[in-house]
Amino acid sequence: MNAPDPILRVAGLSASIDGQQVVEQVDFEVPATGVTAVLGRNGVGKTSTLKAVLGLISRSGVVEFDGARIDGEPTHRIVQRGIGYVPEDREVFASLTVAENLRLAERGTTPNRGMVDELFPDLIARSAQRAGSLSGGQQQMLSLARVLMNDNRLLMVDEPTKGLAPRIVTEVAAALERAAAVTPVLLVEQNLPVVRRLAHTVVVIEGGRVIHAGPAAELLDDDERTQQLLGVHSTDHGAPRGGTDHGAPKGDTDRSAPTGADESREETP
Amino acid sequence: MSTVLLLLITGLGLGALYFLVASGLSLIYGLMGVLNFAHGSFLTLGAFLGWEVARRMPDGSWLTFGVSILVGAVVGATVATLTELLLIRPLYLRHIEQVLVTVGLSLATVALFEGIWGVDPIYVVGPEWLNDTTDIAGALIPNDRFVLIAAAVIVLLGLVVFLKRTRYGLIIRAGVENRAMVTALGVDVRRAFTLVFAIGGAAAGIGGVLASHYFGYVSPLIGGSLLIFAFIVTVIGGLGSLTGAAIASVVVAVLQQFANFYLGGTGDFMVVALLAVVLLVKPTGLLGSKA
């Protein structure tokens, strides 16, 4: 039986920011189901790869979405094809209310409110609140809710658990798992326990190039290989190691999976 | 007391003019990052064509006055829209080139206006009531000040309702904050660019007609002279902030009036000094988020 066509195919993708090459000849595919995680040490070009796919930064190469070339299209048209983008650092509109942030994200005349209402009741209760006054976790929920409002055919989610408390990480992972049940997800994530929970496929980037692609379990079950590619042990849940922060806390907030300690702590906005 | 009141209301009237120009400048910069040096040309052309229509109608009637304002708004909006579509859009995200184009357009249009209407001021005639005064607590206030203030308040309220109640208003408010993220939500923000230019041009065109009645004449340089203060107002209020522009317009114009009267004609100097203080203490301006 043939494998289904990928929903996203990237070939020879290169990108630059202010003249500096940040993505170099990247090739990978995103299957039409499940979660594909993009992994790599800090600063290797994971976020830039997502931005390049969307045309948010200057790029060259081939990007096919559902069999159609999109690399010559402007960002808004690519998104209108059915790609939902959750950026790193949430990027909610701080001066707008929660309701206005959601309304802005509505693409069709019949937004899909059902999943948003179900997954984020606390957010809906804060409709009139300015997004800038929400906690970091609430802002992340809002950023996710914005893409779940529409019937997307691919979600691109960039570090959704970054800087969040363990309890919120669990909630975000659950929401993503729910979304991934109906829509394929391309996920950039530093938290390996979350990757292990969600991802079926991984793509590892190093120096702007893909250096490994394959099943998530195969890589994460091989501690030595994980250590070699990512600089951390695949079983790491805690302290930071070396030049990457996979599965490790950063700053003053804990991004690792719940360990039972300090679960009530709230994250910083 | 009557002098203070006269200076205050005259300052408010002048501030209203500044606001009509600065509101568009501020929104255009906030959303698109374009410093539009051609904004004064929208104002000047609105004033000239408003006068051209008015002189073909009965002198001194309110209908003539109203039609000339309408013409100013339509001309300002049309020219601004064409400027955005033909000159600014092809240079999308190339801010230096965009600024240079607007500077060039500003210089070229002044020369064009001088070629068509001459370099001398052309005196305008409005309804008789505008030339009269109203006694308020002993101060004889020229009536045109009230018209200016009313026009600016109507434009401000209209803009607030538009920004708060419409989808394009929502897009513009979000775009001022983070334009790239608006496009990443699937919104074609370029339409909002055109709309913001059109709205700014309409406000400037209205300002042009009202300025010609405030000063008593229209000339090719009327837009440029107001544009300088409108830029100062925009920076002091905070680039991209409509409320900031409104507050700064009043502060700048009232300060100018009082300094001119009480400090030996140092109004312009005091405005520049205020600009320097704001830039040193709060580079983002009173209510802006972008330096």
pLDDT one-digit tens code per residue, A66-120? 999 999 999 999 999 999 999 998 999 999 999 999 999 998 777 778 888 888 9
In this predicted structure, the answer to whether residue A11 has a pLDDT above a threshold of 90 is yes
Q: Which two tokens stand for residue A33?
A: 């189901």
Residue B211 CA to residue A55 CA, distance in Å, equals 45
Range scoring the smallest mean pLDDT among A129-133, A151-155, A177-181, A264-268 = A264-268
Q: Which residues of A touch B189 (CB under 8 A)?
A: 76
User: What's the pLDDT at A3?
Assistant: 66
- What is the Cα–Cα distance from A253 to A263, expressed in whole angstroms? 11
ipTM of the complex: 0.83
CB contact under 8 A, A76 and B189: yes
Q: Which two tokens stand for residue A36?
A: 């594909």
Q: What percent of chain A stands above pLDDT 70? A: 85
Whole-angstrom distance, CA of residue A177 vs CA of residue A170: 10
**A150 contacts on B by Cβ (under 8 Å):** 186
Contact B177 A79 (CB under 8 A): no
Q: Between chains, do A87 and B185 touch, taking CB under 8 Å as contact?
A: no
| Angstrom distance (rounded) from CA B25 to CA B285 | 14
Evaluate if residue A255 carries a pLDDT over 60: no
Q: What is the pLDDT of residue A4?
A: 73
Report the alpha-carbon distance of residue A176 to residue A171 in Å, rounded: 9
User: What residue ranges of chain B have pLDDT lower than 70?
Assistant: 290-291
Q: Does B187 touch chain A (CB under 8 A)?
A: yes
**Helix-helix angle A98-105:B167-184, to 10 degrees:** 70
Residue spans per domain, chain B: 16-220
DSSP state letters, A162-207: TT--HHHHHHHHHHHHHHHTTS-EEEE-S-HHHHHHH-SEEEEEET
Read off the pLDDT of residues B142-179 as tens digits, 9 standing for 90 and up: 999 999 999 999 999 999 999 999 999 999 999 989 99
* Nearest CB partner across the interface for B181, out of A77, A91, A100: A91
Residue A36 forms beta bridges with which residues?
A: A186, A201
Q: Do B177 and A95 touch (CB under 8 A)?
A: yes
Length of chain B: 291
Which of A47, A78, A104, A143 best tests the B interface by mutation, with the highest count of B CBs <10 A? A104
Q: Are A175 and A192 in contact (CB under 8 A)?
A: no
Give B85's DSSP letter: I
Q: Can you name the residues that pair with B134 across neighbouring β-strands? A: B141
Domains defined along chain A, listed by start:
8-92+152-230 (3.40.50.300)
Nearest CB to A76; choose among B167, B178, B183: B183
Q: What's the rounded Cα separation, in Å, for the pair B7 and A264?
A: 60
**pTM over 0.90, yes/no:** no
